[in-house]
Amino acid sequence: MPPLPVATATMSILVIDDSRLQRRILISALTPLGYRVRDTASAEEALDLCREEMPDIVISDWLMTGMSGLDLCARLRETCGEHYVYFIILTSKSDKGELAEALSAGADDFLSKPLSADEMRGRIAAGERLLRMGKELREKNRLVTSTLSSIREINARLDRDLAEARKLQMSLTPRDPLVIRDWKVSFMLQPSGHVGGDLVGYFTISDRRVGIFSLDVSGHGVAAALVTARLSSWFAGTTSEANIALRDGADGVEMDTLPEICARLNERFLSDLQTGHYFTIILGELDLETGAFQFAQAGHPHPMLIAADGGTAFVGHGGPPIGLLPDMEFPADHVMIRPGERLLIYSDGLTECAGADGNLLDEDGLTRLVKGNRALGGGAFLTALEKDLTDILAESDLRDDMSAVLIERMS
């Protein structure tokens, strides 16, 4: 038969037999193969040696004075822990029932006396292969455990960072409603994840005029939130240098024409933010004296005008999103908000909210929710609307960010 492979230098074997001659035969057969071999005459001494250094393979006689080989096997199985010991029983027994008993008691293999050197080497080589596979598996398990632990730590850090990012993003949305003269403007923002791509807000133009915006960046998550944060800085100030919507007029700071603002937004977005995103926006100027709301509807859903008697109508003629193509034209619209009337501006996260049946809420569904909450106003109205949408979702996750602005003219 072909020669057997030489053992690895780290593989150790403990031989236990109360026959000195038998031990010498085993040692002389194993040592040339590269195994580190120790021997002892009793199971009790073998336990002491194992406490000093646990062997990889044990070859033990079954019947010995004092503790038997099977008893030794049982003791080692209790104490070896993660270090698995491959246990081979030496026996002169040939009864299949007794050999089955040895295997059931924890032995891995057996060798019959008188020994065959080739058979012994083959069985030990088989044991070595199993031990090597077991060691590799334990190393892989340790690596997996370590990797999972690292992933959990990274995820925990990400969750903490995202929680802080959410706080920062929510701080960009007005916490309290804008109340001025006989007007009240309330805001709602609910990201679909930790952070999102929607943003609502306002800026003061003059004592008589207020700029109001609601925008929705394409996509979700961190990337959309970063784009949103950048866009918020474009509307952050009350001077023409700080706010992209303002210009210096003859009587001071005023809002530029809406088509011009949107064209400027489109040009800057395409040149400064080369991310593959785009965004939709309702951007408008509210005249606090007349109730006129001039607005541009760049890809955003149609605002809903809610009459004093509860009737509703969608207004606006639409327009292209910002950031898709250069040199686009953005038309302007207007609506009069009379005493007792309200204007609801919202992102498509509301109308595209899907229930358990998969059907979208759409404009008809939103109209039903609005009419159902007509007795409420301001933040209470938006909170009730958000609750209704959550009930529609049931246990489903929010698929898109939801945001809204409610402009109310008191009677």
State the pLDDT at residue 91.
85
Q: What's the pLDDT tens digit per position in 207-234?
A: 999 999 999 999 878 888 889 989 999 9
- The number of distinct structural domains making up the chain is 2
Q: Give residue for tokens 């009930």.
A: 391
Q: In which band, very low, low, confident or very high, does the pLDDT at 103 lie, cut at 50, 70 and 90?
A: confident
The domain that holds 238 is classified in CATH as: 3.60.40.10
Helix axes 117-171, 221-234, angle to 10 degrees: 20
Q: pLDDT tens for residues 5-55?
A: 444 446 899 999 999 998 998 998 888 888 999 999 999 999 999 988 899
Specify whether 191 is located in the same domain as 321.
Answer: yes
Does residue 178 share a domain with residue 128? no
Greater model confidence, 397 or 59? 59
Shared domain check, 338 and 204 = yes
Answer yes or no: do 283 and 392 share one domain: yes
The answer to whether position 95 is within a domain reads yes
Per-residue pLDDT tens over the stretch 284-299: 999 999 999 999 999 9
Residue 94's pLDDT is: 67
Residue 38 located in a structural domain? yes
Question: Kindly report the CA angle at 217 between 232 and 183, in degrees rounded to 5?
Answer: 55
- Mean pLDDT for 180-199 is 89
pLDDT at position 282 is 97
Question: Average model confidence (pLDDT) for the chain?
Answer: 89
* 273 domain-assigned: yes
User: Same domain for 373 and 234?
Assistant: yes
Tens digit of each residue's pLDDT (9 = 90 or more) over 342-351: 999 999 999 9
In the predicted model, what is the mean pLDDT of residues 236-260?
Answer: 92
Rounded to whole angstroms, the Cα distance separating 240 from 134 reads 71
Q: How confident is residue 383, by pLDDT bands cut at 50, 70 and 90? A: very high
Both 223 and 272 in a single domain? yes
- pLDDT for residue 6: 45
Residue 267's pLDDT band (cuts 50, 70, 90): very high
* Per-residue model confidence (pLDDT) at position 396: 63
Residue 372 in domain:
yes
Last-in-domain residue among 140, 160, 187: 140
Same domain, 230 and 375: yes
Is residue 385's pLDDT more than 60?
yes
Q: Over 80: is that where the pLDDT of 163 sits? A: no
CA distance 25 to 40: 13
Over residues 242-270, the mean pLDDT reads 94
394 pLDDT band (50/70/90 cuts)?
low
Mean pLDDT of 271-295: 93
Judged against a pLDDT cut of 80, whether residue 378 lies above it is answered with: yes
Q: Are residues 387 and 243 in the same domain?
A: yes
User: What pLDDT is attached to residue 395?
Assistant: 56
> In the predicted model, is pLDDT for residue 2 greater than 70?
no
Task: Compute the CA torsion angle 57, 59, 60, 62 (nearest 10 deg).
Answer: 110
Between 382 and 121, the higher pLDDT residue: 382
Tokens of 5: 């492979």
pLDDT for 372 equals 94
Confidence of residue 352 (pLDDT cuts 50, 70, 90): confident
Q: Are residues 245 and 108 in the same domain?
A: no
Contact 401, 191 (CB under 8 A): yes
User: Do 219 and 209 touch, CB atoms closer than 8 A?
Assistant: no
Greater confidence (321 vs 123) lies with 321
Residue 142 CB contacts under 8 Å (≥ 6 apart), including other chains:
none
Instruction: For residues 187 and 404, give the distance between their C-alpha atoms in angstroms, rounded to a whole number.
Output: 6
Helix (H, G, I), strand (E, B) or coil at 385: helix
Q: Choose the final residue of a domain: 140, 164, 186.
A: 140
Pairing state of beta strands 252-255 and 109-112?
unpaired
Maximum C-alpha span of the chain: 115
Judgement on whether residues 246 and 127 belong to the same structural domain of the protein: no
The pair of structure tokens assigned to 344 is 């609801």
Query: What is the C-alpha to C-alpha distance for residues 329 and 247, in angstroms, rounded to an integer?
Result: 20
**344: containing domain:** 172-409
Per-residue confidence at 195, pLDDT binned at 50, 70, 90?
confident
Mean pLDDT over residues 133-150, rounded? 89
Mean pLDDT of the region 195-213: 93
Does residue 92 belong to any structural domain of this protein? yes
pLDDT in tens, 48-102: 999 888 999 999 999 888 899 999 998 988 887 778 899 999 888 767 777 788 8
Which residue has better confidence, 304 or 164? 304
Q: Which of 140, 160, 186 is the last residue of a domain?
A: 140
Distance CA 221, CA 197 (A): 7
Give pLDDT, residue 7.
Answer: 45
Distance CA 199, CA 201 (A): 7
The CATH code of the domain that includes 72 is: 3.40.50.2300
Same domain for 293 and 215, yes or no, is: yes
Instruction: Look at residues 359, 352, 340 and name the one whose alpha carbon lies nearest to residue 401.
Output: 352
110 membership: H or E segment, kind and range: strand 109-112
Whole-number percent of the chain with pLDDT over 70:
96
Sheet strand arrangement including 12-16: 36-40, 12-16, 57-61, 86-91, 109-112
Reported as a single tens digit per residue, the pLDDT across 110-126 is 888 888 888 888 888 88
pLDDT per residue as tens digits for the range 255-265: 999 999 999 99
Same domain, 242 and 383: yes
Is residue 123 situated within a structural domain?
yes
Does residue 29 lie in a domain region? yes
Closest CA to 12 of 109, 124, 140, 136: 124
* 248 is a domain residue: yes
Hey, what amino acid is at 75?
A: R
